[in-house]
């Protein structure tokens, strides 16, 4: 056993083998040297200010203790956030992922303030008039009020137009009356709502002058600011234990003719005048869904970050762990030496890079569209919606699958909560569902793709992200296969175009047989989801390859080489995964697929010596990783043992339940 301060010998050797400059790669992932310095500064301030590592692991506490502990830490963390971190980033960047990431040093599960910061504040910013922002924003940023985002109901999450909560305007008192008419109309799921929030955004059907105008957001005080008692007319509570998010106090909420002032309707996109006249301000009907688009964009970043944590844990552990023998009597190899283990893990490193670069690109696109919308141009919103929908769906789904693979890669110890892999998995698994379910979002993208196909068919120029449709439109022949990064990307575009084309053909054929459009669409949805996924994969491959080329232009040779190997691994991996589609839509042959397989296996061998260096380049501090298996020093077994000492069950040699149950049971006669 190594002494406390020592770094595991295998990890030392791995780091010695690494042939590239780790810092250079860190800068690329962070988006430049300046960003790395800023991130480190933020981490220093956030973590030195009192990152509360718990004496008792969160998972060993009961529900109440876990909530109380999470709230205690949230207050410590929020104080650092508002007193110190916002000064570094500027208030306009309060939601920067770097700040959000420091939170993981405090919470293994999740903070009850997460939705306040992640959705309540952004909704005030996005849905309120300047005047309303002046009232709510300072209080929310200073956390004098704490909010949740209550949209989903017991009966409806996906179909927002089907929400049942009503907000009926009363011109006599100039108030809205909130009402939950049915059990299914109860708000359900909102994070922070159950125990913590005293305010929340409520999405409700707006009625005025006897007419329903659809769903709109309202800001509602639900608890007394002093006593925290629910206000009369409010029924609120926690929805109960779930697969993850157990310290987020997800809540339910019902209204019994609860009155709020007229000005609590968030009025940037639509207004109700004092006399009850409804005025539509926005030029696009779906701008009330703006917070969801924002969060979907940020979730691609979340997918990358959480995956980078999981794969850092799994690769370091795989360098430390030795198991089996390659030949009788030989020393046990590091499990990282097994090609099957490399197959599980290297694609996860590449996927984290691919999503990070895609997330950066998507964020840039989002800010450009926002700027256009401020000028009154909403033309680019549908493309952003289509993009953010599919990228959110695919990145969260792939990240969850990869994190689970990282857990498999860690064998039994990966199943321990102290590895942090179960927390990471349950957190990311939820992201596939919330903020728009995977299938539902891909079908939103499919709507856009079908329209784009029809435009291409009519010889109109389509938007940039589907420009390949113009090129692919006339090809009845299979696209010629070339085994190069560009060739793979082009082939994936051909797959996407081929699938969209087939969907359109099938919808039309079904209509010809007498089906109406809705039924024809419905019957084609399995293919539409597959087409949208294919489109999304072609986008990720294209963005990853081109961005990495751009970002490594001035890099040192070895950095260029290792990142080239990783990017190529990603492209080849997906070509192999989708070989059936390639056979269908390109001229690829079985022989070409054999060559791809060989190339893939060669790439695993080439990447192997740099594997630990590559995960070190994510530069994740131990406080943020929070894993017995993944710490920088590789003291895996020591940490597992140390964790055992913190388990309350081990505080006494004999459990009191022995006398109570086990002894009487053993002594009882059958
Ligand atoms: C310290 C800082 C902290 C930072 C934190 C960082 C990260 C994390 C942050 C927070 C995350 C933490 C926790 C989050 C918890 C989760 C919170 C939630 O889940 S909130 C609830 C979210 N709910 C959903 O996402 C519901 C999904 N459903 C929908 O979005 C919609 O209902 C729909 C499926 C899109 C269908 O809507 P609708 O029926 O109204 O529309 P359609 O008839 O299908 O389409 C009509 C038309 O409109 C277009 N469209 C739809 N949506 C949008 C949009 N958002 N923007 C633009 N356009 C849109 C659609 O494409 C159609 O167009 P067309 O084809 O041209 O007619
Ligand atoms: C951890 C967590 C936190 C959350 N936090 C919040 C929060 O803070 N605030 C909030 O308002 N909400 C929150 N939610 C709710 C979340 O946004 C919804 O659960 C999510 O949008 C999915 O909606 P649903 O539950 O109605 O699923 P459903 O729509 O009922 O989905 C069930 C199944 O039906 C399928 N399906 C549904 N509609 C269609 C369709 N049109 N076509 C094809 N298939 C379809 C789906 O693909 C899925 O397989 C949270 C959820 C979770 C899990």
Reduced to 3 DSSP states, what percent helix, strand and coil does the chain have, rounded to the nearest 5? 60, 10, 30
Measuring from atom 12 of ligand 2, which residue has the nearest CA?
152
Question: Residue 268: which residues within 8 A CB-CB, separation 6 or more?
Answer: 126, 127, 128, 129, 132, 281, 282, 287
Give helix then strand counts, H and E, for the chain. 26, 11
Domain 1-23+289-650 classification at class level: mainly alpha
Kindly give, in sequence order, each residue whose CB lies less than 8 Å from that of residue 115, ignoring residues fewer than 6 positions away.
147, 148, 149, 190, 191, 192, 193, 197, 248
Catalytic residue selected from 164, 302, 435, 547: 435
For residue 569, the SS3 value is helix
Nearest atom within ligand 2 for CA of residue 435: 17
Q: In terms of Cα–Cα distance, which of 286, 279, 268, 278 is closest to 378?
A: 286
Write out the H or E segment, with its range, that includes residue 239: none
- For the chain, 670 residues long, the average pLDDT of each consecutive 10-residue run is 73 98 97 95 85 81 94 92 86 80 92 95 95 96 96 98 98 98 98 98 98 98 98 98 96 98 97 97 83 96 98 98 93 97 98 98 95 89 96 98 98 98 98 98 98 93 90 76 97 96 97 98 98 98 98 97 98 98 97 98 98 98 96 97 93 96 90
Ligand 2 within 6 A of 359 CB?
no
Count of beta carbons in the 10 Å neighbourhood of residue 39:
20
Tell me, in angstroms, the distance from the centre of ligand 1 to residue 635's CA: 44
Atom of ligand 1 nearest to the CA of 293: 55
Which atom, in ligand 2's list, is nearest to the CA of 437?
22
Q: Is 191 annotated as a binding residue?
A: yes
H or E element in which residue 534 lies: helix 525-551
Ligand 1 atom 45 nearest Cα? 444
pLDDT value for 375:
87
Closest by Cα among 173, 152, 174 to 164: 152
pLDDT of residue 53: 67
Beta bridge partners of 421: none
Q: Is 192 left (phi over 0), alpha (psi -120 to 50) or beta?
A: left
Write 650-658 long-range contacts (CB < 8 A, 24+).
Answer: none
Q: From ligand 1's centre to the CA of 289, what distance in Å?
A: 6
- Whether 295 lines ligand 1, by a CB cut-off of 6 Å, is yes
159 CA to middle of ligand 2, Å? Answer: 9
CATH code linked to domain 143-281: 2.40.110.10
Q: Is 631 in the pocket of ligand 1 (CB under 6 A)?
A: no
| Length of the chain as a residue count | 670
Instruction: Determine whether the annotation assigns residue 152 to a binding site.
Output: yes
Domain with CATH 1.20.140.10 in the chain: 1-23+289-650
Instruction: Please work out whether the CB of residue 302 comes within 6 Å of at least one atom of ligand 1.
Output: yes
Structure tokens, 223? 């608890």
Phi, psi of 579 (to 5 degrees): -65, -30
pLDDT of residue 2: 43
Report the pLDDT value the prediction gives residue 98, as an integer from 0 to 100.
Answer: 86
Give pLDDT, residue 475.
Answer: 60
d(CA 549, CA 387): 22
528-563 burial by CB neighbour count: b if 16+ within 10 A, else e?
Answer: bbbbbbbbbbbbbbbbbbbbbeebbeebeeebbbbb
Inter-residue contact 470 to 461 (CB < 8 Å)? yes
Who contacts 587 (Cβ-Cβ below 8 Å, separation ≥6)?
478, 479, 480, 481
593: which 2 tokens?
A: 């697929």
Closest by CA to 195, choosing from 145, 230, 169, is: 230
Query: Does ligand 2 have an atom closer than 6 angstroms to the CB of 158?
Result: yes
pTM of the complete model = 0.97
Distance of CA 453 to the CA centre of its chain: 29
pLDDT score at 1: 41
Q: Which of 152, 426, 527 to mutate to test the pocket of ligand 2 (most atoms within 8 A of CB)?
A: 152
**Residue 389 CA, distance from chain mean position:** 12
Determine which residue's CA is closest to atom 8 belonging to ligand 2.
190
CA 525 / ligand 1 centre spacing (Å)? 19
Q: Where, residue-wise, is CATH 2.40.110.10 in the chain?
A: 143-281
CA 116 to ligand 2 centroid distance, Å: 20
Q: What is the 3-state secondary structure (H, E, C) of 459-514?
A: CCCCCHHHCHHHHHCCCCCCECCCCCHHHHHHHHHHHHHHHHHHHHHHHHHHHHCC
Tell me if residue 435 is catalytic: yes
């Amino acid at each position: 056993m190594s002494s406390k301060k020592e770094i595991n010998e295998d990890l030392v050797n791995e780091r010695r083998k690494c042939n590239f400059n780790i810092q250079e790669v860190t800068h690329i992932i962070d988006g430049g040297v300046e960003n790395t310095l800023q991130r480190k500064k933020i981490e220093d301030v956030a973590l030195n200010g009192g990152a509360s590592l718990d004496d008792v692991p969160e998972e060993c506490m009961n529900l109440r203790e876990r909530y109380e502990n999470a709230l205690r830490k949230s207050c410590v963390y929020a104080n650092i956030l508002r007193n110190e971190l916002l000064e570094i980033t500027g208030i306009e960047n309060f939601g920067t992922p770097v700040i959000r990431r420091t939170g993981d040093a405090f919470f293994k599960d999740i903070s009850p303030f997460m939705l306040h910061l992640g959705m309540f504040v952004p909704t005030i910013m996005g849905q309120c008039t300047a005047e309303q922002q002046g009232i709510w924003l300072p209080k929310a940023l200073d956390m004098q009020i704490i909010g949740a985002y209550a949209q989903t109901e017991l009966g409806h999450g996906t179909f927002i137009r089907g929400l049942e909560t009503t907000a009926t305007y009363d011109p006599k008192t100039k108030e809205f009356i909130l009402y939950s008419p049915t059990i299914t109309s109860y708000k359900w799921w909102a994070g922070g709502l159950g125990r913590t929030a005293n305010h929340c955004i409520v999405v409700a059907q707006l009625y005025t002058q006897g007419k329903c105008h659809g769903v709109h957001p309202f800001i509602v005080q639900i608890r007394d600011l002093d006593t925290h008692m629910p206000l009369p007319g409010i029924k609120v509570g926690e929805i109960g234990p779930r697969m993850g998010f157990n310290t987020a106090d997800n809540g339910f909420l019902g209204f019994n003719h609860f009155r709020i002032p007229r000005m609590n309707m968030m009025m940037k996109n639509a207004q109700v005048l004092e006399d009850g006249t409804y005025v539509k301000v926005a030029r696009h009907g779906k701008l009330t869904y703006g917070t969801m688009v924002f969060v979907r964009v940020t979730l691609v970043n979340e997918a990358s970050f959480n995956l980078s944590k999981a794969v850092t844990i799994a690769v370091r552990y795989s360098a430390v762990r030795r198991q089996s023998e390659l030949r009788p009597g030989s020393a046990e190899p590091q499990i990282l030496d097994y090609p099957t283990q490399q197959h599980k893990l290297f694609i996860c490193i590449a996927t984290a890079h691919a999503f990070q670069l895609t997330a950066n690109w998507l964020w840039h696109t989002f800010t450009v569209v926002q700027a256009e919308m401020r000028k009154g141009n909403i033309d680019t919103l549908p493309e952003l919606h289509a993009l953010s929908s599919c990228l959110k769906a695919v990145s969260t789904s792939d990240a969850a699958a990869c994190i689970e693979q990282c857990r498999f890669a860690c064998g039994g110890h990966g199943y321990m909560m102290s590895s942090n892999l179960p927390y990471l998995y349950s957190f990311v698994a939820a992201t596939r569902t919330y903020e728009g379910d995977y299938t539902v979002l891909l079908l939103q993208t499919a709507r856009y793709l079908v329209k784009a196909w029809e435009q291409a068919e009519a010889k109109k120029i389509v938007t940039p992200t589907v420009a390949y449709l113009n090129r692919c439109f006339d090809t009845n022949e299979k696209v010629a296969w070339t085994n190069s990064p560009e060739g793979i990307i082009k082939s994936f575009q051909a797959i996407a175009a081929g699938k969209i084309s087939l969907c359109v053909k099938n919808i039309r054929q079904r209509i010809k047989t007498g089906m109406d459009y809705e039924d024809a669409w419905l019957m084609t949805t399995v293919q539409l989801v597959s087409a949208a996924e294919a489109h999304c994969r072609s986008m990720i491959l294209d963005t990853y390859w081109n961005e990495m080329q751009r970002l490594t232009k001035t890099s040192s040779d070895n950095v260029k080489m290792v990142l080239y190997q990783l990017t190529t691994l990603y492209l080849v991996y997906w070509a192999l995964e989708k070989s059936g589609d390639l056979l269908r839509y390109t001229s690829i042959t079985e022989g070409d697929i054999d060559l791809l397989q060989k190339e893939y296996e060669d790439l695993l061998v080439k990447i192997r010596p740099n594997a630990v260096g590559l995960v070190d380049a994510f530069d994740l501090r131990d406080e943020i990783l929070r894993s017995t298996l993944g710490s920088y020093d590789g003291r895996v077994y020591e940490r597992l043992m140390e964790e055992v000492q913190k388990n309350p069950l081990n505080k006494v040699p004999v459990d009191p339940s022995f006398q109570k149950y086990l002894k009487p049971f053993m002594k009882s006669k059958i």
